[in-house]
Amino acid sequence: DVAPSRGLGDVYKRQFLEEYAMLHKKFSFRKVLENGSGKSYVIVTFLGILEMMKTGKFTIEQDKLFDDIIITYNPGKEQEEEQ
């Protein structure tokens, strides 16, 4: 479900991220950022990744502070949101 405060761009960003993840399975945050530019693109992409992580579709890893974030796609996994 899309919360009323979220825009249509958020929906498209999550759809893009899921399609990208289906193709690549495991990828870096930096690699995803090659598809766009600008501060707002980075922020919206990061928020989309966090949202996908919250639902269980993405698992993220980062070895050290400031290292690249590695994202793994978990197809078919989606946790129930707490009400």
> What would the pLDDT profile of 10-51 be if each residue is shown by its tens digit?
777 888 899 999 999 999 999 999 988 889 889 989 999 999
Handedness of CA 58, 62, 35, 23 (dihedral sign): negative
- Decide if 57 contacts 77 (C-beta within 8 A): yes
For residue 50, the surrounding DSSP H or E stretch is: helix 39-54
Give the residue-averaged pLDDT of 57-80.
88
Cβ count near 20 (within 10 Å): 16
Q: What is the pTM of this model?
A: 0.75
